[in-house]
Each structure stands twice: as C-alpha cells, then as structure tokens.
Amino acid sequence: MSNEKIAVILAAAGKSSRFADPHYKKPFAKLGDRAVWLHAARHFVDRADVAQVIVVISPDDEEYFQQMFGSNAAVMGLDVVLGGERRQDSVANGLNAVNPDITMVAIHDAARPCLHEKWIDRVFQKAPESGAAILSTPVVATIKKSSDFQTVEKTIDRTGLYQAQTPQVFRRALLEKAFADHGHAEF
C-alpha cells in the first residue's frame, strides 16, 4: 500500500435516465437494507488510505438527500457537495472540495455498489506508480458493428478490449490539470 492520501468522490448527481423506476434515482434506490450509494460508500469510509469521501448530489436532490441520508453522511464523516449540469461539472465540484493535503483522487460511481476490496486495493496501488489507474474488466460479450442498426457488418475481435469501471484514480495534480485545460480552472 502506498503512503498517498486519497479522496474519493462518489458521483451521485446524475439523472438516472436509464433507470426503470421514475420515483427513484439509482444511487438512492434500496438494495437490501440501505440505499445503493451507502453500499458504495462503505467500501471507502473505513480504509486507512482514504482521508476524505465526498458525495456529489444534484441540487434537485439536496432537500431529499438531507432528509433521507443527512444523518448517514454525518455519522460516516462524508462531505456533501452539489453537482453541476454534466458529470464532469459534478466531478469538478467534488474536486474543488478535496482537502489541500490530499495527493490522489478516486472517482467512483455511487450507483456501483458491487466492489471487491482487492479490486480497490489494486487500483489504489497502481495509480501512484503511473499517475492514474482505472478499474476495468475484460469485454466478454460478443460485439457487433452495424452502421444502419439492421445489418451486421462484422463481429469485433474483443481481444485486448476492456470495459472501464470505477473507481478511477488519479494523481490530484494530473486531474486538476486535465480539468483546467478543459475549462474548469477553479482549482
């Protein structure tokens, strides 16, 4: 394990437009005895290498979140930040809330509660070596290419293809530079 201090930004500000239930957003839906985002957060709050956990929520959800989960966030020692119009805006808002002494930043989708500790350990260990690392899984599905959505043109060879997952971990300075270079220069 590295000596880096890590902040985890849990992105929970999305619209959940692909989620089947119009009454809930994915991170706030119940999974067993608690909301999905709480399952995701528990993977990070008690880790020795995680110095800060920030939950980024939509401004539209602020009242609901505080009413339903404010006490959870307080007990877990989480910072709650309001997101922006797009995911990158929300992550930038979370990044602006990272404590000054933190050197690494992990971004994790709050709607992804199914993580294994060894996966987190591995991506947290690799990121300081190169400046960034992402969790990924090999593509196992058969992938087809079609230009007209009707005719299969070819089957894509999935050798060497991976699906990006979260957490995605970055050296803080590298992530801040990337955001600054693309219009988010508040850091």
Residues 56 and 175: their CA atoms lie apart, in Å, by 17
Q: Given the DSSP bridges, would you call strands 162-171 and 132-138 parallel, antiparallel or unpaired? A: antiparallel
Count CB-CB contacts under 10 A for residue 50. 19
pTM of the model: 0.86
**What is the per-residue pLDDT for 186?**
54
Amino acid occupying residue 88: Q
What digits encode the pLDDT tens for the residues 113-153? 888 899 999 999 999 999 999 999 999 999 999 999 899 99
- Identify the residue with better confidence: 70 or 25: 70
Residue 23 CB partners (closer than 8 Å, separation 6+): none
Residues 23 and 168: their CA atoms lie apart, in Å, by 29
In the chain, the percentage of residues whose pLDDT exceeds 70 is 90
Residues 85 and 88: their CA atoms lie apart, in Å, by 8
Cα–Cα–Cα angle for 155, 157, 162, rounded to 5 degrees:
120
What digits encode the pLDDT tens for the residues 2-38? 578 999 999 988 654 444 445 567 788 788 888 889 9
Strand ranges (E), 27-66: 30-31, 34-35, 50-57
Say if residue 42's pLDDT is above 70: yes
The answer to whether the beta carbons of residues 91 and 107 sit under 8 Å apart is yes
